[in-house]
């Protein structure tokens, strides 16, 4: 049974619908549901869950029920869980409740534990009239995305040929045993025995050399695949829209790269091995039927039984593997979050509490992985018992045949050798087929990245735009995170002339930062459009638009590297003179002159070695280094003292480019030519700065020089 895991922190309701559809025999990929039904940052209400379920062929009925009434619900049912989450109730058996949690996987809970989370609200789901079952294909064809380069085909062919040569030795080895026993040992032919020993000894040496060469080629192919797959996955990921990252946890995004390893191993090693195993299994089976048909029938019957057991275990293996993967992601996320918030934890004295939270996640991970290991161990034991039973039967039947003179001892040895090869190869072949099936869970992980469309025109080659003047026009801009959410921006319209210095003010949460992200093309406008020099941002394309912008957002970060590298944003040819000019404009040059390495000072990951004010000023210098036509600042001086802020404001006034800033501090606002006030997503005031008007008036009325 398919276990949908939520990729976004607020899509538990959507994942529950995917689980319910799978239970009713109409599985659908969560990515497909996500494309059809956008989930807001606040999640889904129960009514919205009902509407989405109806759009996918399920009828929902919301009910209130007590804990002891859970067994009366029609399953699957969606339960409201812990006030902010949804899970699927699959069944109630005695005092055990099976829950499918989109965040952590399937689990059996006692009534006491259920009572801690169940809020008493449930949603029964049933197929609507005309509901049709269907089969769900894997959302991502590995072959269509992980294309092989020509050099890789050559390596695959080399591995295949070497593997076939190795199998010649495997097929011929039983004949050595038969000939050595029947033709040499029993007849006392020392010369033949020596010839056989030398011949097969040289054959074995050749086999060892071929195996070593195959290993080298396999390692080279694996390295090429690792580079190619990871590079293309990373290239696609960094071109995804900003909201994709904002709706996902860091650990979950990082863990998706781990899904490449099983796919790489599948292509570089197991693909060829499976083909060779299949060929050798057929050859050895034919040889067994040539030597002893009755014994071969026993071996074939055992293989059929093994395949049936393996298929019966497949759904359990998939479910346990997905649950273990979800638990590892949750534990990793808690660990990453702890490291990033270590200062807060220490200030709050919450080390013990956090340790307990992480320990619970880690214990859940160990428990899930233990379940996987127990299932594998159980199957291995069953497989071993089956092999042992078959060996006993074959030896018994073979010995009886030798006693009846219908089979020689050497022939029995040869048959048993072929049986061993057939058993190993056939089981390996079927195990690899099962392994391919298990890679579906990694395919789903990769699909969330690969199948998400990149930003429009993000791959266009960017060229410098010296002709951009910096005129901006906002025409009826509206924005909402989801259609069912209230808009953040509503009919925002104003014009900014080239070279104008505009301050956007308003209360927190009014939509100021969102407006700047729409300007930068990070958020798509739900309504209206932004014009740059009379052309829409879409017509310019994201590369050209962002090339004209110098931006400092509230949550911008510095990267690990030197100060010069960060200011130049790791340009191949860093203009040190321009770096110092920008540092002067950002009022931080004097601070850097006091550092031993000056602009070559390494500042650490995310600017860890800098104060908040120093970090903001370097970010400002980075924006200025781009020589933008439009400078966009969102609270870029909020951590500075008044003197530093005054120096930066003076530098900003001297610029002849368009400047758009969001600020709350009066000193920064006073430097602007014009002030636009936004409240509740709408422009409520747009006027010239009175202080600037007085300065301009004084300048106009000043007497001419003598």
What's the rounded mean pLDDT across residues 562-590?
A: 93
pLDDT at 689 over 90: no
- List pLDDT tens digits, range 391-400: 899 888 988 8
pLDDT interval class at 695 (50, 70, 90): very low
Spell 549-573 as b/e; 16+ CB within 10 A means b: bbbbbeebebeebbbbbbbbeeeee
pTM for the full predicted model: 0.76
- List pLDDT tens digits, range 215-267: 777 777 777 777 888 888 899 999 999 988 888 888 778 888 887 877 777 66
Contacts 24+ apart (CB under 8 A), 95-104: 97/70, 100/3, 100/16, 100/19, 100/76, 102/4, 102/5, 102/6, 102/11, 102/12, 102/15, 102/16, 102/19, 103/5, 103/6, 103/12, 103/326, 103/330, 104/323, 104/326, 104/327, 104/330, 104/364
Report the C-alpha gap between 221 and 394 in whole angstroms. 41
What pLDDT, on a 0 to 100 scale, did the predictor assign at position 690? 67
- List pLDDT tens digits, range 81-127: 988 899 999 999 888 899 988 877 778 888 888 898 999 999 999 99
What pLDDT, on a 0 to 100 scale, did the predictor assign at position 64? 92
Contact 178, 413 (CB under 8 A): yes
What's the rounded mean pLDDT across residues 666-673?
A: 87
Question: Percentage of the chain with pLDDT > 90?
Answer: 27
Q: Do the bridges between strand 105-110 and strand 118-127 make them parallel or antiparallel, or are there none, so unpaired?
A: unpaired
What's the rounded mean pLDDT across residues 545-562?
A: 90
Contact 539, 584 (CB under 8 A): no
582 as an active site residue: the answer is no
> Three-state secondary structure along 285-347?
HHHHHHHCHHHHHHHHHHHHHHHHHHHHHHHHHHHHHHHHHHHHHHHHHHHHHHHHCHHHHHH
What pLDDT, on a 0 to 100 scale, did the predictor assign at position 703? 42
What's the mean pLDDT when you consider all of the chain?
A: 83
- List pLDDT tens digits, range 154-205: 766 776 777 667 667 666 666 666 667 666 666 676 777 677 677 777 766 7
Say which residue the tokens 């994942």 belong to: 15
What pLDDT, on a 0 to 100 scale, did the predictor assign at position 418? 80
- List pLDDT tens digits, range 500-529: 999 999 998 899 999 999 999 999 999 999
Highest averaged pLDDT of the listed ranges 178-187, 271-280, 615-624, 667-676: 615-624
Query: Of 468, 454, 622, which Cα lies nearest the Cα of 537?
Result: 468
Q: Is 660 helix (H, G, I), strand (E, B) or coil?
A: strand
> Three-state secondary structure along 422-438?
HHHHHHHHHHHHHHHHH
What pLDDT, on a 0 to 100 scale, did the predictor assign at position 169? 66
Active-site entry in 12, 16, 520, 582: 12
Report the C-alpha gap between 147 and 264 in whole angstroms. 12
**355 C-beta neighbours (distance < 10 Å), count:** 12
pLDDT interval class at 705 (50, 70, 90): very low
Highest averaged pLDDT of the listed ranges 51-55, 309-313, 405-409: 51-55
More confident position, 615 or 161: 615
- List pLDDT tens digits, range 472-506: 999 999 998 877 778 999 999 999 999 999 999 99
Q: Do the bridges between strand 472-479 and strand 118-127 make them parallel or antiparallel, or are there none, so unpaired?
A: unpaired
The vertex-299 CA angle with 293 and 304, nearest 5°, equals 125
More confident position, 35 or 583: 583
Q: Do the bridges between strand 77-81 and strand 118-127 make them parallel or antiparallel, or are there none, so unpaired?
A: antiparallel
pLDDT at 606 over 90: no
Contact 77, 16 (CB under 8 A): no
Report the C-alpha gap between 407 and 402 in whole angstroms. 5
DSSP state of 118: E
The vertex-396 CA angle with 387 and 394, nearest 5°, equals 40
pLDDT at 613 over 70: yes
Query: Of 245, 234, 248, 237, which Cα lies nearest the Cα of 517?
Result: 245
Query: Of 478, 509, 470, 417, which Cα lies nearest the Cα of 632?
Result: 470
pLDDT interval class at 404 (50, 70, 90): confident
pLDDT at 684 over 80: yes
Per the DSSP assignment, residues forming a β-bridge with 477 are: 492
Judge residue 703's burial from the number of C-beta atoms within 10 Å of its C-beta, 0-12 exposed, 13-18 middle, 19 or more buried.
Answer: exposed
Report the C-alpha gap between 284 and 73 in whole angstroms. 55
Spell 23-41 as b/e; 16+ CB within 10 A means b: bbebbbbbbebbeebebbe
pLDDT at 335 over 80: yes
pLDDT at 402 over 70: yes
What pLDDT, on a 0 to 100 scale, did the predictor assign at position 221? 76
First to last CA, the chain: 91
Domains in the chain with CATH codes: 12-127 (3.90.70.10), 142-450 (1.20.1560.10), 472-701 (3.40.50.300)
What pLDDT, on a 0 to 100 scale, did the predictor assign at position 463? 53
pLDDT interval class at 147 (50, 70, 90): low
Q: Which phi and psi angles does 234 have, rounded to 5°?
A: -65, -40
What's the rounded mean pLDDT across residues 329-338?
A: 86
CA atoms within 13 A on the CB side of 631: 29
Structure tokens at 607: 């600017």
């Amino acid at each position: 049974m398919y276990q949908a895991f939520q990729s976004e922190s607020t899509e538990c309701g959507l994942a529950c619908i995917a689980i319910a559809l799978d239970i009713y025999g109409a599985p659908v990929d969560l990515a497909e549901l996500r494309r059809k039904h956008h989930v807001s940052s606040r999640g889904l209400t129960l009514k919205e869950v009902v509407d989405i379920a109806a759009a996918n062929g399920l009828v929902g009925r919301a009910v209130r029920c007590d804990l002891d009434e859970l067994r009366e619900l029609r399953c699957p049912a969606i339960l409201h869980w812990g006030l902010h989450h949804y899970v699927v109730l699959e069944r109630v058996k005695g005092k055990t409740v099976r829950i499918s949690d989109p965040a952590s996987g399937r689990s059996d809970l006692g009534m006491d534990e259920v009572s801690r989370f169940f809020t008493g609200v449930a949603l029964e789901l049933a197929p609507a009239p005309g509901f049709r079952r269907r089969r769900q294909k894997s959302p991502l064809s590995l072959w269509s995305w992980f294309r092989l380069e020509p050099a890789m085909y050559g390596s695959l062919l080399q591995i295949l040929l070497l593997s076939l040569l190795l199998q010649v030795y495997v097929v011929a080895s039983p004949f050595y045993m038969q000939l050595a026993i029947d033709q040499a040992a029993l007849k006392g032919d020392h010369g033949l025995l020596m010839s056989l020993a030398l011949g097969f000894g040289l054959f074995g040496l050749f086999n060892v050399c071929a195996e070593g060469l195959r290993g080298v080629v396999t390692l080279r192919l694996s390295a090429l695949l690792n580079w190619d797959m990871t590079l293309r996955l990373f290239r696609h990921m960094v071109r995804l829209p900003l909201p994709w990252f904002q709706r996902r946890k860091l650990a979950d995004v990082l863990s998706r790269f781990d899904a490449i390893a099983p796919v790489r191993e599948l292509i570089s090693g197991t693909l060829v091995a499976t083909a060779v195993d299949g060929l050798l299994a057929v050859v050895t089976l034919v040889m067994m039927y040539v030597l002893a048909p009755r014994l071969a029938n026993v071996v074939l019957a055992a293989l059929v039984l093994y395949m049936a057991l393996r298929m019966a275990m497949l759904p359990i293996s998939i479910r346990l593997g997905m649950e273990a993967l979800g638990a590892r992601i949750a534990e990793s996320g808690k660990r990453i979050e702890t490291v990033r918030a270590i200062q807060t934890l220490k200030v709050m004295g919450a080390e013990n509490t956090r340790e307990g939270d992480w320990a619970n996640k880690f214990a859940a991970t160990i428990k899930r992985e233990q379940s996987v290991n127990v299932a594998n161990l159980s199957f291995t034991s069953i497989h071993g018992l089956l092999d042992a039973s078959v060996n006993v039967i074959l030896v018994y039947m073979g010995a009886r045949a030798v006693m009846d003179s219908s089979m020689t001892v050497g022939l029995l040895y040869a048959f048993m050798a072929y049986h061993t090869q057939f058993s190993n190869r056939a089981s390996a072949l079927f195990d690899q087929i099962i392994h391919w099936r298990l890679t579906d869970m990694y395919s789903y992980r990769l699909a969330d990245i690969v199948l998400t469309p990149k930003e429009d025109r993000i791959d266009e080659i960017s060229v410098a735009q010296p002709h951009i003047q910096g005129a901006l026009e906002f025409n009826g801009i509206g924005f909402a995170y989801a259609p069912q959410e209230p808009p953040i921006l509503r009919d925002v319209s104003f014009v900014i002339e080239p070279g104008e210095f505009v301050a956007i003010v308003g209360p927190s949460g009014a939509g100021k930062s969102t407006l700047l992200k729409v300007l930068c093309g990070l958020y798509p406008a739900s309504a209206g459009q932004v014009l740059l020099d009379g052309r829409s941002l879409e017509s310019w394309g994201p590369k050209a638009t962002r090339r004209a912008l110098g931006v400092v957002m509230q949550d911008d970060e510095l990267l690990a590297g030197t100060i010069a590298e960060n200011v130049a944003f790791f340009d191949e040819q860093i203009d040190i003179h321009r770096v110092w000019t920008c540092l002067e404009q950002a009022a931080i040059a004097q601070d850097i002159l006091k550092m031993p390495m000056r602009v070559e000072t390494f500042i650490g990951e995310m600017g860890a070695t800098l104060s908040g004010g120093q970090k903001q000023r370097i970010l400002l210098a980075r924006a200025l280094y781009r020589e933008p036509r439009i400078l966009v600042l969102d609270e870029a001086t909020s951590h500075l003292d008044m003197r530093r802020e005054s120096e930066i404001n003076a530098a900003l006034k001297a610029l002849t480019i368009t400047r758009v800033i969001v600020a709350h501090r009066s000193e920064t606002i006073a430097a602007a030519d014009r002030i636009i006030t936004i409240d509740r997503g709408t422009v409520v005031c747009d006027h010239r700065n009175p202080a600037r008007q007085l300065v301009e008036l004084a300048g106009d009325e000043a007497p001419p020089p003598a």
